[in-house]
Amino acid sequence: MIEVLTDVEALESCVGERPASSMLKSIRYLDDHCQALLAASTFAVAGVVLDDGTICAAGLGGDPGHLAVTGPTALALPGLAVDAPDGAPVGLLAFVPGYRETLRVNGRLRRGPAPHLEVEEAFLHCAKALIRSRLWTETSPALPSAEGAASLDDPAVAALLDACPFVALASCDEAGAADVSPKGDPAGSLVRIVDGTTLAIADRPGNLRTDTMHNLLGRDRLSLLALVPGSDLVLEARGRAAVTADERVRAALEVRGKVPKAAIVLAVEHLEVRREPAITRAGLWDRSRHANPAALPKATQVWVDHVQRSEDTSEMAEMVRGVLTVDAMDEGIAQDYEQNLY
């Protein structure tokens, strides 16, 4: 029996409290930085909450700009084939291939003539998941055919997960705010099969918001979408999840002598391995189609500007705004990426 964390106090005593400074990087609209990144994005993972509370994860892909910004709080979701009602919570994780950070945009599905996201929150996620996974620079070896697999007992599923360095986790909180969070590690270290129905996913240092883990305390539904570089196969696993500090589970996820402080365990109720046309449309693994990071907003400038644009008017927020500079953040982020990957 795996012991799980059941309240905020237990969770934060394990992984730490959410730093207020991290929450300041969130804004409620798509500013110029978000629009520039979305204009260059060719692929995204959307997490959508269905009528029965199930969360599903789906890829969206196309040429740069396919995720068209149609207003400060409106983002087109072309190709979204999920059968969800108007107003359903949606989380979006947008990738710019070749760029290390990811853009997270959360809000509500609006059907209209074409599906779009009514934006409630946007923020830039740090690069640690992509640095650890080497998502844009490595290609996995050829995999045995796993298309159509539907069980963790299938050896092809185990091979796919062993080759997977990156997953997107879709969750939703009690208030109905959805989110898709990136997780990345060297292949073979990120996801472990605990038994025939259970997966464990390592929680490594990231932007310190710990959104997924906080969400699971109040609403235990989770969807995992696993990507394998060089392949258009994805694995989606849905079910009920929890956070654990179980020593045996965490020890199995050790990397470079570092054991994660916590892990997410997913009791899989639905599993499928499928070809994802969005990956092909995006040319996700074609390095000749990857963006030049120098032509995109600098991540530290985005964070500084988003802190300045945050609606938080607390004394702490004003103090942070008064001292935060791009140079200081450049130094801090470089050190953090070097020393705190695991």
Q: Model confidence over 152-169: pLDDT tens digits?
A: 999 999 999 999 999 999
Does 44 reside within a domain? yes
Does 160 reside within a domain? yes
pLDDT in tens, 245-263: 999 999 999 999 999 999 9
Q: Is the dihedral of CA 183, 128, 82, 122 positive or negative?
A: positive
pLDDT in tens, 280-335: 999 999 999 999 999 999 999 999 999 999 999 999 999 999 999 999 999 999 99
Mean confidence (pLDDT) of the chain: 95
pLDDT at 68 (0 to 100): 97
Residue type (1 letter), 290: H
- Alpha-carbon gap, residue 126 to 55, rounded angstroms: 24
Size of the chain in residues: 342
- Strands (DSSP E) contained in 143-284 are 166-172, 178-184, 191-195, 198-203, 221-227, 233-244, 262-275
Residues paired with 27 in a beta bridge: 122
Does 2 reside within a domain? no
Does 1 reside within a domain? no
pTM of the full structure:
0.96
Does 99 reside within a domain? yes
User: Total domain count for the chain?
Assistant: 1
Does 252 reside within a domain? yes
Residues contacting 315, CB < 8 A, separation 6+: none
User: Residue 147: which CATH number?
Assistant: 2.30.110.10
Residues contacting 140, CB < 8 A, separation 6+: 163, 165, 187, 228, 229, 230, 231
pLDDT at 22 (0 to 100): 86
Q: Is residue 57 within a helix (H) or strand (E), and if so which, with residue range?
A: strand 55-61
Can you give the residue range of the structural domain that contains 211? 8-339
Does 34 reside within a domain? yes
pLDDT at 162 (0 to 100): 94
